[in-house]
Structures are given as C-alpha cells and as structure tokens.
Amino acid sequence: MDKKLYLLAELDDNTQKIVRKFYGKILEENIIGTQTKDIPYHISLCSYSIENEKNIITLLNKIKGKFNVIEILFGGFGLFGLNVLFFNPAMNKNLIELYDFCKSNSYNKDNAFTAHMTLLIDEPDKIIKILPKISNEYKAFTGKIVSISLYEFFPKRFIHKINLMI
C-alpha cells in the first residue's frame, strides 16, 4: 500500500469517551477489527500524496484562526459494504465549509468526501453479529470537531495539529 497523507478532523474528549464505550461493547464479543486503533476518533477530510506535506502544513496554518469548533450530530450507524461500520454524522454547513476549504486550497482537487467516523473494520459476519447489539443501546449524540491533524499512513506518523477556535 502506498503511503499517503490524511487530514483528520478530531473530536473532543467527551465524544472520544462515547465512541470508546461502543468499541468496548465490541471487544466484549471478542471482535477487534483491523481499523487504526492508536489515533483519536475522527472524520477523515482529505487524502494527499506524500510529496504535498509542506503544502498541507501551510493549509493547516490557514485553517487555524479561520474555523471555530464544529458541532456534529451523530444520528446513527452506517456501513460501507458489510466490512466497515461507522458512526454517521449529519452533514452541516460548517463541516461542508471546512471540507471545501481543505479541498479548494490544496493541490489535490480529486478528494471525494463521505463523512463518517469509523468504529470497526472487519469481516462481514462479525459486523452483522455486533450491529444489533450496539444498535439497541444507541442514542443520537452531539460531538465537537476541536482540531485538525495531519498524519501519514502506513506506518503511522503524526505530522502536525491545529486547534479550532472556541
């Protein structure tokens, strides 16, 4: 797999706790998944080729001071195929504006955006097994995007982070 850079809209501590609680329920069923586990829960905004690192850091510094913390309603779960289970954020004007800013101020205009916060990547039979168990306990919640980070994957390398204005 080729290395790429990713801009991640990271969520506040309270949202991290809520999502970890659901992942804890998954672990109780001895399901671990293959998703990246050692980074904060987030909404991926864009991906870029590795040679754009300096340009993306410049972009992050443009975002800093331009965008406030963004509230996001997570109304339920979604699936990509049957092997990716995610929290489904309700699109709103502020999230779209942030994404558009990232895309329009980058050298990579081909980024498609499907807002999601991955909870589990695994085999379909495991997704099907766990979905009813966690869906029964689900109540919509509001989270906050509080920072934007730049990572390189794989292997994981943290590069830069900015906080959104309060």
Q: What does the pLDDT look like over 65-102, one tens digit per residue?
A: 899 999 999 999 999 999 999 999 999 999 999 998 88
What letter represents residue 69's amino acid?
V
CA separation for the pair 52, 35 (Å, rounded) = 25
How does residue 111 score in pLDDT terms, banded at 50, 70 and 90?
low
Q: What's the pLDDT tens digit per position in 22-56?
A: 999 999 999 999 999 899 999 999 888 899 999 99
Name the residue with higher pLDDT: 27 or 108. 27
User: Which of 34, 9, 22, 57 has its CA nearest to residue 123?
Assistant: 34
The domain that holds 147 is classified in CATH as 3.90.1140.10
* Whole-number pLDDT of residue 106: 63
Residue 89, CB-side half-sphere exposure with 13 Å CA sphere: 29
Q: Which two tokens stand for residue 143?
A: 């989270």
Kindly report whether the peptide bond that precedes residue 155 is cis, defined as omega within 30 degrees of 0.
Answer: yes
- Its pTM stands at 0.92
d(CA 7, CA 164): 14
What does the pLDDT read at residue 166? Answer: 83
| Cα distances (Å, whole numbers) of residue 12 to 26, 28, 31, 50 | 21, 25, 25, 27
For residue range 113-127, list pLDDT tens digits in order: 788 999 999 999 999
Split into its structural domains, the chain has a count of 1
Structural domain including 87 reads 4-163
Question: Which amino acid is residue 165, in one-letter code?
Answer: M
For residue 45, what are its two tokens?
A: 């905004």
